[in-house]
A = this chain, B = another copy of it.
Amino acid sequence: MSAETGKEPGHLSRRRLLGVAGATGAAGLVAGGAGGAVAAEAVRDQPAELASVGRGEVPFHGKHQAGISTPLQAAGHLAAFDLAGDADRRAAAALLRRWTRTAAALTAGKPAPARDTGVARDAGPSSLTVTFGFGRSFFGRTGLADRLPEALGPLPDFTADHLDKRRSDGDLWVQIGADDPLVAFDALRALQREAAETAAVRWQMSGFNRTPGATAHPMSMRNLMGQVDGTNNPKPAEKDFTAKVFVPENGSPAWMAGGSYAVVRRIRMLLDTWDHLSPERQDQVIGRRKADGAPLSGGTETTPVALDKFTKDGAIAIAGDAHVRVAAPESNSGATMLRRSFSYHDGYRDDGAPDAGLLFIAWQADPRHGFTPVQRKLDRGDGLSRFLRHEASGLFAVPGGCAPGDYVGQELLEG
């Protein structure tokens, strides 16, 4: 439900639905006559009122920022910005005010207030979300060291890390997601223009998920290794979801109430090595069947993983170093996080391997009880880690959402 329009973006009237059938038939005829290798496709020739993906709108304002519990979008950009040498707390506050104003407009399908390029003008907001966070270095640079959250302490070193510092950390972090890549790109450019003299891009990465309508199972992501990912994520409908993901109202520091912590890792997958494993061996490394995501302890994708189950042969169903075992909350004193990642593919490396993997993003109320203990355990005992390289890392404090007229981070910067 869009707070601004009061309209449910997902609702299609029966009249409109019947409208598609007519348009589809006509498109089929036209395209079918156009030569041997041309196929009709309903979704491409649909009339304006049925551009359902473009119409998707995620409210910007609210208790929490959008882009955390929002369903995965098809295109994503992550960008870190560093403040200019002469940018002080006041300049940072002005930047967050400009960014908030721009994000609020674009996510509602309105032109960017400062200067709209018109690049994505012909589509709706396409479920655009823009999420802002602060890195540890931000606090020292703006004289706000006394407001640095304890939870934003540096992540420990892990033995599997091969981190590129130039693509890690940063004063400010922006996550952009949208179901149309041009809408997402336009938002990134708009924010970069607003940063102008105040902050410059430190690093930027782009990723993707499934196109809406490509698969009937879009809610759990399928990563580049082919594994269904995120099945065991906390679900918004579960009663402890909010406690796991968001800082409580009476949490500390006060300016983080309703906020969350994002751990960002660029995880390259050694796909050539992985592809040499037999499908059975791949399933054992993960602890789930690639084909349908079902745990090797039995059932379907959504069946809880039974870590103590044995097979008929007397072997443990889910191996001691299987990824799902080592990462399970039961193996980590209940530590959990909301994983909401994008795949990436940045061409090929000089060694001939694809530069591809996961822009891993994990959300939690406190990384010391989420990502950090789980990754410590994975780092020591996960059979999957042989096929992964963590190449960049960041931890960001993402404050709660703001009300119309306010800006994200206002309580930090003015409180």
Please give the residue numbers on chain A whose beta carbons come within 8 Å of chain B beta carbons, in ascending order. 1-2, 8-12, 14, 17-18, 20-21, 24-25, 27-28, 30-54, 56-59, 62-71, 74-75, 115, 117-124, 126-127, 129, 179-183, 185, 189, 192-193, 200-201, 204-206, 208-219, 222, 224-226, 236-237, 241-242, 271, 275, 279, 290-291, 343, 345-348, 352, 354, 356, 401
Contact = CB atoms under 8 A, between A and B. Distances in A.
B237 A33 contact: yes
Nearest to A258: B36
A77 B185 CA distance: 18
B54 A226 contact: no
Contacts of A58: 37-39
A311 to B, nearest CB: 22
Contacts of A275: 115, 117, 189, 193
Smallest CB-CB A-B distances: 4 pairs:
A34-B236, A36-B62, A48-B216, A53-B213
B352 A42 contact: no
A69 B37 contact: yes
A123 B214 contact: yes
10 contacts: A37-B69, A38-B70, A50-B216, A124-B214, A126-B214, A180-B214, A182-B210, A182-B224, A206-B345, A206-B347
A32 to B, nearest CB: 5
Given A71-B44, A226-B118, A226-B119, A211 B180 contact: yes
B208 A211 contact: no
Nearest to A79: B348
Contacts of A345: 185, 206
Contacts of A192: 354
Nearest to A39: B58
Given A216-B47, A237-B33, A346 B346 contact: yes
B52 A37 contact: no
A64 B41 contact: no
Contact of A117 (B39, B74, B226, B347): B226
Nearest to A30: B237
A68 B214 contact: no
Contact of A118 (B57, B126, B279, B346): B279
Contact of A219 (B44, B127, B210): B44
Nearest to A47: B216
Contacts of A214: 51, 53-54, 123-124, 126, 179-180, 182-183
Contacts of A51: 213-216
Nearest to A183: B214
A401 B36 contact: yes
Contact of A52 (B8, B14, B42, B48): B42
A69 B201 CA distance: 39
B205 A37 contact: no
A267 to B, nearest CB: 16
A213 B52 contact: yes
A122 B10 contact: no
B46 A63 contact: no
Nearest to A62: B36
B205 A347 contact: yes
A177 B24 CA distance: 22
